[in-house]
Amino acid sequence: MKVRAPLWPKLTLALGVLLVLASGAGLAGSRALISNAASAVTQTNLLGTTKKTVAEGGGDELKGPIDLLLMGVDARKRWAVDDLHADTIIILHIPATHDHAYLVSIPRDTDVQVPPFAKSRYPGGRAKATEAFFHGAQNGAGWAGGAQLMAQTLKAATGVSFDGAAIIDFNGFKGVIEALGGVRMCVDQRVTSHHMVWVGSKPMYLAEARRTGRATRPVVYPVGCRAMAGWQALDYARQRYGLRNGDYDRQRHQQQLIKAMARKAGSSGVLTNPLKINRLIKAAGKAFVLDTGGVPIADFVFTLKGVTANDLVLLRTNNGTFAGNAAGRETITPLSKEMFAAVRQDRLAAFVLEHPGVVAKGM
């Protein structure tokens, strides 16, 4: 299983995805250094038959627009490999100019038609977008199967084909943030964690805390900007209950976390220090499974090294508000369908100028 390097890979080199964005001033070290370090990242085929074709603008030379599928899973040790949903689904679009990038989140509860998938023996049917990964991972198909079925499902729903993909294990991703020395996040509404509590001075998952038999107190994120450790930034960005706009606020916070990581990587000397780059990539190797579509990671890094954190635009599906159907699931509004068409046609810049309301406030 391998890595790619645009946004998530760069920033995390897998930063591949975000390191690329964060490089701004340029990476220190040679392609050989990056290639050797990137060998620690797991790579595999996550796209199956949905890889972008040459006719769709794909190819091995990275001369056109680049679209990546980013999926976040919560792979705790007590859970089986095939018992996972993709709770975070993001399309990363980098236009052919390779000078900025867009993050578009797909609501996890979007009502989609999931196609049949022979590898997992799934017959096909309607489901939530988050469930496509689960259905694809069954019967031995594993994470690769989950990603491939997710890619097929999203292509059918949005028309977008992908150059590459990344699966982010939230628990391992914490190490990437820690390798950056934490990140600065701005909290726009008071958030109480539904996943973690304090046991004395130690943050713990609820299930682990209950086993201690000790008193607990809530983990709370008050309004304001502050430096956050890896576990704090990740926990905050994963909350959706109790937020004014539910999962839409969570999507925005996750986009903000990506941008904060890119900004930190670009401003802390990480990308001009070979030792720090290696440390970051090793952490990424524990957090990512990547598909570069056959393109060497170093090629991605150097192709996209001009994209900085300030060039990362956060976009809102459905204008950041719930658009449900009779079954209580999300639907994709006509405006968002236009936005996905703009992704396919590589004209997001013009679309955003015409519809500035789709841009999320980036902190």
At 21 the pLDDT is 34
Distance CA(5)–CA(292), nearest Å, equals 7
Residue 155 lies in a domain: yes
Judge contact between 244 and 223, C-beta under 8 A: no
Residue 247 lies in a domain: no
Confidence label for 33 from pLDDT (cuts 50, 70 and 90): low
At 307 the pLDDT is 72
Distance CA(27)–CA(326), nearest Å, equals 51
In this predicted structure, which of 194-208, 211-225, 237-251, 292-306 has the lowest mean pLDDT?
A: 292-306
Higher pLDDT, 19 or 119: 119
% of the chain with per-residue pLDDT over 90: 38
User: Is 60 exceeded by the pLDDT of residue 249?
Assistant: yes
At 2 the pLDDT is 37
User: Is 60 exceeded by the pLDDT of residue 8?
Assistant: no
Q: What is the pLDDT of residues 89-129, one digit of tens each?
A: 989 999 998 888 898 988 888 999 999 999 999 999 999 99
Residue 240 lies in a domain: no
- In this prediction, residues 327-331 reach a mean pLDDT of 79
- In this prediction, residues 339-344 reach a mean pLDDT of 95
Tell me which residue range forms the domain holding 89.
Answer: 8-179+268-358
At 42 the pLDDT is 76
- In this prediction, residues 30-36 reach a mean pLDDT of 59
Confidence label for 78 from pLDDT (cuts 50, 70 and 90): very low
Residue 213 lies in a domain: no
In this predicted structure, which of 21-30, 134-143, 146-155, 248-257 has the lowest mean pLDDT?
A: 21-30
- In this prediction, residues 26-40 reach a mean pLDDT of 57
Judge contact between 106 and 131, C-beta under 8 A: no
Residue 106 lies in a domain: yes
Higher pLDDT, 345 or 43: 345
Most confident of 9-13, 21-25, 34-38, 299-303: 299-303
At 257 the pLDDT is 86
Residue 219 lies in a domain: no
At 46 the pLDDT is 93
Confidence label for 34 from pLDDT (cuts 50, 70 and 90): low
Question: Which CATH number belongs to the domain containing residue 68 in this structure?
Answer: 3.30.420.590
Judge contact between 238 and 214, C-beta under 8 A: no
- Predicted structure pTM score: 0.79
% of the chain with per-residue pLDDT over 70: 77
Residue 220 lies in a domain: no
In this predicted structure, which of 96-105, 235-244, 259-268, 296-305 has the lowest mean pLDDT?
A: 296-305
Distance CA(343)–CA(92), nearest Å, equals 10
Distance CA(330)–CA(317), nearest Å, equals 11
Residue 72 lies in a domain: yes
Q: What is the pLDDT of residues 136-190, one digit of tens each?
A: 999 999 999 999 999 999 999 999 999 889 888 877 778 888 888 899 999 999 9
For every residue of 170-232, DSSP letters joined together read HHHHHHHHHHTT-EEEEESS-EEEEEEEEETTEEEEHHHHHHHT---EEEEE-SEEEEE-HHH
Quick one: which of 183, 177, 173 has its CA closest to 285?
173
Amino acid type, 30: S
- In this prediction, residues 305-309 reach a mean pLDDT of 67
Q: How many domains does the chain have?
A: 1
Compute, in degrees rounded to 10, the torsion defined by CA atoms 120, 254, 238, 181: 110
At 83 the pLDDT is 64
Average pLDDT of every residue of the chain: 80
